[in-house]
A and B are shown apart, each in its own frame.
Chain A
Amino acid sequence: MIKVNFLFFIFLSSFIFIIGLTGIILNKRNILLTLLSIELILLAININFIFYSIYIDDFFGQLFALYILTVAAAESAIGLTILVIYYRVQNTLDIRVINLLQA
């Protein structure tokens, strides 16, 4: 069993996750940054999975991490596609203008 620094990894993944969240919440300019923040969140989750898979010596964490990589790639591809189409229609990616969801 490999010795790992438990707190370091927990804090690392949580920190990256929170950075991603605050990136989504505080970002008011460009929607690309939101997408990047989402990638960051997925990365934090991946780190978490891999760390736990090593920590409890289980294989499925790494399997999930691989799946999440795939999903993240697909998601960023589709997201970028949406952004491109959106830009073509609206001619902007400023997040303050994207308020079509208003009730």
Chain B
Amino acid sequence: MVFIIVLAPLLSSIISGFFGFKLGHKGVAILNCSLISVCFLTSFYFFLDNLFNGSVVSFSLFPWILSGEMELHWGFLFDSLTVVILIVVTSISLLVHFYSISYIAEDPHLSRFISYLSLFTFFIVILVTSDNFVQIFVGWEGVGLCSYLLINFWFTRIQANKAAIKAMLVNRVGDFGLALGILLLYFKFGSFDYSVVFSLVPFFSIQKIYFFFEMDYLSLVSLLLFIGAIGKSAQIGLHTWLPDAMEGPTPVSALIHAATMVTAGVFLISRCSPVFEFAPRILWIITIVGACTAFFAASTGLLQNDLKKVIAYSTCSQLGYIIFSCGISSYDVGIFHLANHAFFKALLFLTAGCIIHSMNDEQDFRKIGGLSTILPFSYFIVFSGSLALIGFPFLSGFYSKDVILEVAFAQFSNEGHFAFWLGSMGAFLTAFYSIRLLFFVFLAPTNGFKRFYEMAHESSFVITFPLIVLFFGSLFFGFLIKDSIIGLGSNFFQNALFVHPFHFRQIEAEFLPLSIKLIPLVFSMLGMCSSFVFYFFNQSFLFNIKTSFFGRSLFVFWNRKWFFDKFFNENIVQVFLDRSYHFTYVKIDKGFFEMFGPYGLTFCCYTFINKLQRIQTGQLYHYTFIIIIGFLFSIFITFFSFDFRLFFIILLFFFI
């Protein structure tokens, strides 16, 4: 059973990758969808088994590395944390497979695309089901690789190439942190297995380690692991790859940003919750970073004009919520929001793909407008998805997002309140830009070319079916599994998540005053209403704000993404390129090593030989002189005990 989950995506990837040209598009489509749905059904079975029976499956396969004291096995662990993520990943992946069969149908490389998608699924499954840190790293790197391949799917486009390289390299910064963290864990624990490490964590909680200066051991480990999570989950600082990754096809965006890639960081933090719980200062940092990301990305998404970029920044913002909920030790709430978010974000992305598809690949929504009567189904779907994202009462976003903010407030600490207020403002902005997107795409007057509108039509059933499934998922999933995942006293996450008793604040969160509990809801409703009012009835007011001096600078600041890209390009990327050319290449490689290596040697030989050659003038009396000198010299050597140091000194004077 377990092997089906792991091997079905791999098999599908291999078959469609190597034999896709024999199967044809239809064969690849049928084969892959059936294999991935088998994978999904199996993981669904595991989910139900875990939900109702509380059964945890754990076993190790054959050994991987046996070297001295290190014993590393390929092993799998299906506990409640794994199955929740697994059900999300496989279901979204299945729907994306189904969707892209029709979406990429006109592309000649469908089988390659499907192969990459399945490989992606395989690696994320490896990531979430591993039972040791090295295997999670395999999945981690594999996911990065597949994101590169998928973003770069249309490899003839220079922008896609650049975005893919950026995604790979920015992720690699985080991966470096993760690798260091894993090695540091092994340094003291002597094992890569979760079971060994997590059971021994309290023993190491007072250990110090010397890393440039003396540091708390678990804090350092947690910090390095968190750096890995920053890269993968696109937190502030290393988030710049995520919006650029929109260059890939839309199903890829849905898979990367909704379900799989960005969840890896959250999964890592949740999985390592025992380590993080004993490093309260790092939890503080996680909270601050997550809250900043939530607000920053929401404010950036507010003024983007690209349909997919708005949704990408929305992803970034929601991940900020999830990360700071991990930072305040509510890992279960974070996982819950992750699951809900996967559904409505996949919904939004896939529908955006439909809209872009029907409008002749126009992504700038200032050039779309007025689609509500032409694409009523997409309008309905995006509207409900946006409501779920905003946290409209009784949709899935409501159940998770408001709980996150409540728990943040219930910390009664500075960072908790910081996260609460930034998160609430982020909720306001989220509502604002969601309605803005709806307005520009569907309700604004038509702004595109007439020809595009004549060709605009709803997509086929193969494309709309996943949307319907996701629609129901994003409406009801939150309500359905709310009580099992974050219900008070629920024993769903048996030992998968560890929360230090000092950090457990969910009871306080439950009994907060109503005025505090209503704040996020009021903020988001206010955002919706104000956005609606401004864009429908008062556009001249917005125009006046935008053209005023302060408003314009704010607009430019947010529209250009807080100048993060500009800052990184000018102060880090350019500086590094400059240094690596002028210092490393010119000064060291071509300078020092060449001078003392091959080039300098040949230069010396050349000049030496030149001087030697210049002795032969062709004048007879010079030859005679040399002969006599040589004669006298040989006599000198023969008759006196000769010191060879003197000889070298004479030689030196002779040639210089």
Contact = CB atoms under 8 A, between A and B. Distances in A.
Partners in one complex: yes
Interface of A: 21, 24-28, 31, 34, 95-96, 98-103
Interface string B586-626: 00000000000000000000000000010011111101110
Contact of A99 (B613, B619, B625): B619
Contacts of B623: 101
A103 B621 contact: no
Contact of A24 (B613, B616, B618, B621): B621
Contacts of A31: 620
B620 A98 contact: yes
B620 A95 contact: yes
23 contacts: A21-B624, A24-B621, A24-B624, A25-B621, A25-B625, A25-B628, A26-B621, A27-B621, A31-B620, A34-B620, A95-B619, A95-B621, A96-B619, A99-B617, A99-B618, A100-B618, A101-B616, A101-B618, A101-B623, A102-B617, A102-B618, A103-B616, A103-B618
Interface in B380-426: none
A68 to B, nearest CB: 19
A86 B128 CA distance: 97
B635 to A, nearest CB: 14
Nearest to B619: A99
B620 A21 contact: no
Nearest to A31: B620
The secondary-structure label for the interface of chain A is loop
Contacts of A95: 619-621
Most buried by B among A96, A100, A101: A101
Nearest to A100: B618
Going nearest first, the 5 A-B pairs with the smallest beta carbon separation are A102-B618, A99-B618, A103-B616, A101-B618, A24-B624
Contacts of A28: 621
Contacts of B616: 101-103
Interface string B609-653: 000010011111101110010000000000000000000000000
B59 to A, nearest CB: 82
A96 B623 CA distance: 13
Report the contact-size class of chain B (Cβ under 8 Å from the partner). 10 to 19
A28 B625 CA distance: 13
A32 to B, nearest CB: 13
B625 to A, nearest CB: 5
Contacts of A27: 621
Given A101-B623, A103-B613, A21 B618 contact: no
A31 B617 CA distance: 17
A25 to B, nearest CB: 5
B627 to A, nearest CB: 9
Nearest to B616: A103
A100 B625 CA distance: 17
A21 B621 CA distance: 10
B619 A21 contact: no
Contacts of B620: 31, 34, 95, 98, 101
Contacts of A103: 613, 616, 618
B629 to A, nearest CB: 10
A44 to B, nearest CB: 14
B624 A25 contact: yes
Contacts of B617: 99, 102
Contacts of B621: 24-28, 95
Interface in B534-560: none
A31 B613 CA distance: 25
Contacts of A25: 621, 624-625, 628
A26 to B, nearest CB: 7
Most buried by B among A25, A34, A100: A25
A31 B623 CA distance: 14
Nearest to B622: A25
Contacts of B618: 99-103
A82 to B, nearest CB: 13
B616 to A, nearest CB: 4
Contacts of B628: 21, 25
A24 B305 CA distance: 96
A21 B623 CA distance: 12
A98 B618 CA distance: 8
Contacts of A99: 617-619
A28 to B, nearest CB: 6
Nearest to A21: B628
Nearest to B628: A21
Nearest to A34: B620
B598 to A, nearest CB: 26
A91 B589 CA distance: 59
A96 B620 CA distance: 8
B456 to A, nearest CB: 86
A71 to B, nearest CB: 19
A81 B576 CA distance: 78
A31 B619 CA distance: 12
A39 to B, nearest CB: 15
Contacts of B613: 103
Interface string B227-269: 0000000000000000000000000000000000000000000
Please indicate which of the listed interface residues B619, B620, B625 has the most CB atoms of chain A within 10 Å of its own CB: B620
A101 B617 CA distance: 8
Nearest to B623: A101
Nearest to A99: B618
- Which of B617, B618, B623, B625 is packed against the most chain A CB atoms within 10 Å? B618
A40 to B, nearest CB: 14
A101 B620 CA distance: 8
A60 B431 CA distance: 125
A98 B619 CA distance: 7
A90 B483 CA distance: 117
Given A24-B621, A95-B620, A101-B618, 5 more contacts: A21-B624, A31-B620, A99-B617, A102-B618, A103-B613
B604 to A, nearest CB: 20
A45 to B, nearest CB: 14
A28 B628 CA distance: 17
